[in-house]
């Protein structure tokens, strides 16, 4: 059993690259935490660019994946991309689990990352819809929204749990404050979007969800930086 304990403030051991098994693929899974957020942002921009009249300010991102309507001529661009993002994040969660030592804390973080990833993956399988007066929300749209909300809150719970796990660890002090700001900034905006309060729902969603993706990006950079602090021959 690995004695690596980044999340255990009682042991204060530094992350080492050797916490990741000596297999090529596992060493590079962590980079998906940088690639996946950049990828999905880029693909949303591309999907919006090929959707005539689409507004980032007023329209939800999921509108880009609605199937069977003329105003969204290329829904596969968004849907395939969001599924790919989910798969990348599942692989990333596996890499994080190994880097953090395969202990209880690492397992909790990995599980929440997987819940986030699976939720996003199903957002690409079950699609949203545009409702007109007198229409009733379809079962598929309800499933879509449920997975989207679950995915977001899994990441939010992960951030809260991360703060609790590391609040006495000096290596993570700056990231803890950063995480707190992200949570405070994200939750009200996503709340406004979910309850459809205000005019700029697309903007609320993008900023509210976007800052959580930025957190994954920064968290991964920190992991990679800490993994380089100790030489590889310090494995235990």
Q: What is the pLDDT of residue 24?
A: 52
Dump pLDDT digits (tens) for 137-175: 999 999 999 999 999 999 999 999 999 988 888 888 889
> What is this structure's pTM?
0.86
DSSP code of residue 230? B
Concatenated DSSP letters of 187-213 = HHHHHHHHTT-SS-HHHHHHHHHHHHH
- Does residue 117 contact residue 107 with C-beta atoms inside 8 Å? no
Q: What is the pLDDT of residue 74?
A: 97
Q: What is the pLDDT of residue 25?
A: 65
- Does residue 194 contact residue 208 with C-beta atoms inside 8 Å? no
User: Residue 69, Cα to own-chain centre: how many angstroms?
Assistant: 28
Dump pLDDT digits (tens) for 46-85: 999 999 999 999 999 999 999 999 999 999 999 999 999 9
Q: What is the dihedral of CA 164, 170, 172, 174, to 10 degrees?
A: 110
Q: What is the pLDDT of residue 98?
A: 87
Distance between CA atoms of residues 185 and 9, nearest Å: 27
- Does residue 214 contact residue 221 with C-beta atoms inside 8 Å? no
* Rounded average pLDDT over 174-190: 94
Q: What is the pLDDT of residue 48?
A: 97
pLDDT above 90 as % of the chain: 68
* Rounded average pLDDT over 117-122: 97
Q: What is the pLDDT of residue 37?
A: 97
Give me the phi and psi of 214, to 5 degrees please.
Answer: -65, -35
């Amino acid at each position: 059993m690995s004695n690596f304990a980044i999340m255990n403030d009682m042991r204060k051991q530094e992350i080492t690259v050797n916490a990741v098994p000596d297999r090529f693929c596992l060493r590079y899974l962590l980079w998906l935490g940088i690639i996946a957020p950049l990828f999905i942002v880029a693909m949303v921009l591309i999907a919006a660019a090929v959707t005539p009249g689409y507004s980032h300010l007023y329209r939800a991102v999921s509108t880009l994946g609605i199937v069977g309507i003329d105003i969204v001529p290329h829904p596969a661009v968004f849907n395939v991309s969001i599924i790919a993002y989910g798969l990348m994040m599942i692989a990333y969660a596996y890499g994080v689990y190994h880097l953090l030592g395969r202990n209880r804390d690492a397992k909790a973080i990995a599980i929440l990352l997987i819940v986030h990833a699976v939720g996003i993956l199903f957002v690409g399988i079950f699609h949203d819809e545009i409702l007109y007066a007198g229409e009733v929300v379809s079962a598929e749209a309800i499933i879509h929204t449920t997975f989207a909300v679950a995915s977001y809150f899994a990441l939010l719970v992960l951030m809260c749990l991360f703060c609790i796990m590391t609040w006495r660890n000096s290596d993570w002090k700056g990231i803890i404050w950063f995480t707190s700001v992200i949570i405070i900034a994200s939750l009200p905006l996503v709340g406004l979007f979910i309850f459809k309060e205000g005019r700029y729902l697309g903007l609320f969603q993008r900023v509210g969800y976007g800052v959580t993706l930025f957190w994954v990006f920064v968290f991964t950079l920190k992991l990679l930086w800490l993994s380089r602090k100790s030489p590889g021959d310090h494995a235990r």
